[in-house]
A and B are shown apart, each in its own frame.
Chain A
Amino acid sequence: MSHAGGSLLEASGITKQFGGLTAVNDVSFSIPNKAIVSLIGPNGAGKTTFFNILTGLYKPTLGRVSFGGANITGGRPDRIMSLGLARTFQNIRLFGTMSAVENVMVGQHARMSAGLIGSILRPPRVGREERTVRAKAVEMLSYVGLRVALHDQLATNLAYGDQRRVEIARALASEPKLLLLDEPTAGMNPQESADLTRFMERLRDEMGLSILLIEHDMKVVMGVSEYVTVLDHGEKISEGDAQSVRNDPVVVEAYLGKQEAERQRQESGEG
């Protein structure tokens, strides 16, 4: 699929095998600038594996990933992140014994320059940098809506929803162009999910971000995505705008099983 505004990320022919198991099979995929794109599919479809390939945690067996025109296939995760590709994790991975602010400061690691000697001698330049980074961390935490009283609280002590916020703030602090969110609404109630949906649109409109979303909550996916790609058993079975994917019989079948899909088709035929 090609996009009018140009692609930010382009993945072509991505295949990942673990031993004899093919987790992702020949998936091609692209993300346009300033768009929200979703990756959906049943459990075990290979969504998170695909995510990990994009962010450099896994090297693809075959295929090529380019980001902003640069080839990042199998590159080091920290380099890929510094190019502007930040992520959150399905099961929140904050640094538990660091405060919320410190977590977000780690997110800015790639945007800082202090080295070993600078950290020890702390010349004015490094002192300034520390203050700027701390201020930005506070700003980001407020942007995602973490109460100021919780900013210096240890991450491990925060409530679940707040941990999700800190994780998003940590990713945002790295000044990404593309934000990858791995099931961000997991464990949220419908109200919280709806709020997060609006927040994602705000990120796109205010910060000019592209967002790649892995999500099970179809309400969120259909509400926010400009494009949806469906994976099943590691293969791309459908893609397009939310409406066309929703009505694609292959997708219904993947989610509900063949019998159920046929039953639905008959029902809609009769009705």
Chain B
Amino acid sequence: MSTATAAPGAKATDPSQNGSFGLPREVRIGLAIAAILAGALLPLFIDGEGGFIDDATIALAYVVMALGLNIIVGFAGLLDLGYVAFFAIGAYTMGYFGSLFHITADGGEGVHILVSGPAAELPGIHMNFLLIVVLAIIATTIAGMVIGLPTLRLRGDYIAIVTLAFGEIVGRIAINGDEIKGFGTQLTAGRQGITPVDKIDLPFLEAFNSLQLRPWYWVAFALVLIALFVNFRLVDSRLGRAWIALREDEVAAVSMGVPLVKTKLLAYGTGAAFGGVSGAFLGSYLNTVNADQFQFSFSIFILAMIILGGLGSIWGVVIGAVALSFINNRLIPDVLNDVPAKIGLDFDLTELSFGIFGFLLVIMMVLRPEGLLPERRRQIELTAGVEDLAVDDDSYEAKVP
């Protein structure tokens, strides 16, 4: 008895190959390697101090977040409208443990753990970037599970409302945290922001600086690779199957032995961790942790990326995130911004950016609701399983066991 992978007609609909897009396996692997090589080598061919690599680095950080949100929304089907909370928590972890923010720490002497260079002389708490990333992962995983708990009994839209509220709570605390004082410090620096933030300081490498952007790009790229790896491994695993099962039919899934609470919380926690990692990176890269970064619209921005690319489709999410981030950071402010002036209108196009995103999404929903590179399962869900398969007639006349 062999598995049926060789059976005619079955191969084309094999859903376990996430994002196969109907291409043979060899072609897919080739394309993936080409994309990864191109991404890794890109900085060598562009100005290492210019605006493009800056936009590209931010785009990669957004890809990490989008891949994290994809685990929650795309795999487990839990609509999360408060993902910005994890960005904020990751960024504040960076701000807390890698800046002058806690200026009175250790009596003004400062606390330094595995840091070198200028940061080792400054007051405040300064920890190695890798340690901060670990802390950010822990903090956001816990936050992810805390937000998950009240949604466990809820379904669909109600989950969205609770997560939306959670995102707003974290955002409001960020804005007003400068009023919350204790232990000689504040909770956040509010709209003023925590700045400057320590540059990334990796073992065996020179400390990063804000002029040479190539090292930043490569760190962000490495984070994307890790996020991709985790996404691909999870989607075809015991846990990934459990997420899809819960998404499809909660009652059937728990009746088949899938523990509801644990499985959902693992989705929230894992997805949130990537928001935290990316947040810590962006805190350092942007050199500020500012409450204005953590608004509701950012959650929608990340969600729009995965919807544009294709919910649950790993490569689709990457493409969606890169596309939206470039539209937001380059196309609208740099390339198209003088268009209104040229046609005799007087306004700043960046003010319309969310209108433009909204328009793009509406166009997508009309033309290609399953996203740019749809995931097979989602495509079926959206088209209600209408698929013409060459099932032989005799299979209907069931030869019952």
Chain A residues with CB under 8 Å of chain B are 55, 57, 76-79, 81-82, 86-87, 89, 93-99, 101-102, 105-107, 109-112, 114-116, 119-122, 126, 129-130, 133-134, 138-139, 142-145, 147-154, 156-162, 165, 170-171, 174, 188, 191-192, 195-196, 198-199, 202
- Which of B2, B10, B244 touches A95 (beta carbons < 8 Å)? B244
Inter-chain CB contacts under 8 Å: number:
196
- Which of B4, B229, B244 touches A149 (beta carbons < 8 Å)? B4
- Which of B3, B229, B230, B239 touches A151 (beta carbons < 8 Å)? B3
- Which of A81, A116, A157, A159 touches B385 (beta carbons < 8 Å)? A157
Q: How far is the CA of A134 from the CA of B238 in the complex (A)?
A: 11
Q: How far is the CA of A188 from the CA of B400 in the complex (A)?
A: 10
> Which B residues touch A170, using CB under 8 A?
256
Most central of A139, A145, A151 by chain B CB within 10 Å: A151
Q: Which of B231-257 contact A (CB under 8 A)?
A: 233-234, 237-242, 244-245, 248-249, 251-257
- Which of A89, A97, A153, A159 touches B396 (beta carbons < 8 Å)? A159
> Which B residues touch A144, using CB under 8 A?
401
In the complex, what's the smallest C-beta–C-beta distance from A137 to chain B, in angstroms? 9
Q: Are B237 and A119 in contact (CB under 8 A)?
A: yes
Chain A residue with Cβ nearest B400: A195
Q: Which of B207-243 contact A (CB under 8 A)?
A: 229-230, 233-234, 237-242
A82-B257, A109-B258 given; A116·B398 CB < 8 A:
no
Q: How far is the CA of A108 from the CA of B88 in the complex (A)?
A: 39
A114-B237, A150-B395 given; A93·B400 CB < 8 A:
no
Q: Are B398 and A87 in contact (CB under 8 A)?
A: no
Most central of B240, B391, B396 by chain A CB within 10 Å: B391
Q: Kindly state whether residue B259 has any CB partner on chain A within 8 Å.
A: yes
Q: Are B10 and A149 in contact (CB under 8 A)?
A: yes
Most central of A102, A122, A144, A202 by chain B CB within 10 Å: A102
Q: Kindly state whether residue B297 has any CB partner on chain A within 8 Å.
A: no
> Which B residues touch A148, using CB under 8 A?
1-4, 7
Q: Are A77 and B15 in contact (CB under 8 A)?
A: no
Q: Are B238 and A93 in contact (CB under 8 A)?
A: no
Q: How far is the CA of A202 from the CA of B401 in the complex (A)?
A: 10
In the complex, what's the smallest C-beta–C-beta distance from B365 to chain A, in angstroms? 20
Q: Are A196 and B400 in contact (CB under 8 A)?
A: yes
> Which B residues touch A153, using CB under 8 A?
9-10, 13, 389, 391
Q: How far is the CA of A153 from the CA of B9 in the complex (A)?
A: 8
- Which of B9, B14, B238 touches A109 (beta carbons < 8 Å)? B238
Most central of B13, B14, B254, B255 by chain A CB within 10 Å: B255
> Which A residues touch B400, using CB under 8 A?
145, 161, 165, 188, 191-192, 195-196, 199
Q: Are A139 and B1 in contact (CB under 8 A)?
A: yes
Q: Are B257 and A105 in contact (CB under 8 A)?
A: no
Chain B residue with Cβ nearest A106: B245
Q: Are B248 and A55 in contact (CB under 8 A)?
A: no
A96-B380, A97-B244 given; A78·B15 CB < 8 A:
no
- Which of B258, B377, B401 touches A106 (beta carbons < 8 Å)? B258
List 9 A-B pairs, minimum CB-CB distance, nearest first.
A161-B398, A110-B257, A195-B400, A119-B237, A97-B377, A93-B252, A145-B401, A151-B4, A199-B401
Q: List 13 A-B contacts (CB under 8 A).
A: A78-B254, A78-B255, A107-B256, A134-B3, A151-B3, A152-B7, A154-B385, A156-B385, A158-B391, A170-B256, A171-B256, A174-B256, A188-B400
Q: Are B377 and A77 in contact (CB under 8 A)?
A: no
> Which A residues touch B380, using CB under 8 A?
96-97, 154, 156
Q: Kindly state whether residue B387 has any CB partner on chain A within 8 Å.
A: yes
Q: Are A106 and B256 in contact (CB under 8 A)?
A: yes
Chain A residue with Cβ nearest B4: A151
Q: Are A152 and B260 in contact (CB under 8 A)?
A: no
Most central of B1, B14, B400 by chain A CB within 10 Å: B400
Q: Are B256 and A159 in contact (CB under 8 A)?
A: no
- Which of A87, A101, A160, A195 touches B255 (beta carbons < 8 Å)? A87
> Which B residues touch A110, using CB under 8 A?
256-257
In the complex, what's the smallest C-beta–C-beta distance from A207 to chain B, in angstroms? 13
Q: Are B249 and A77 in contact (CB under 8 A)?
A: no
> Which A residues touch B253, using CB under 8 A?
95, 106
- Which of A112, A143, A147, A198 touches B238 (beta carbons < 8 Å)? A112
Q: How far is the CA of A230 from the CA of B396 in the complex (A)?
A: 33
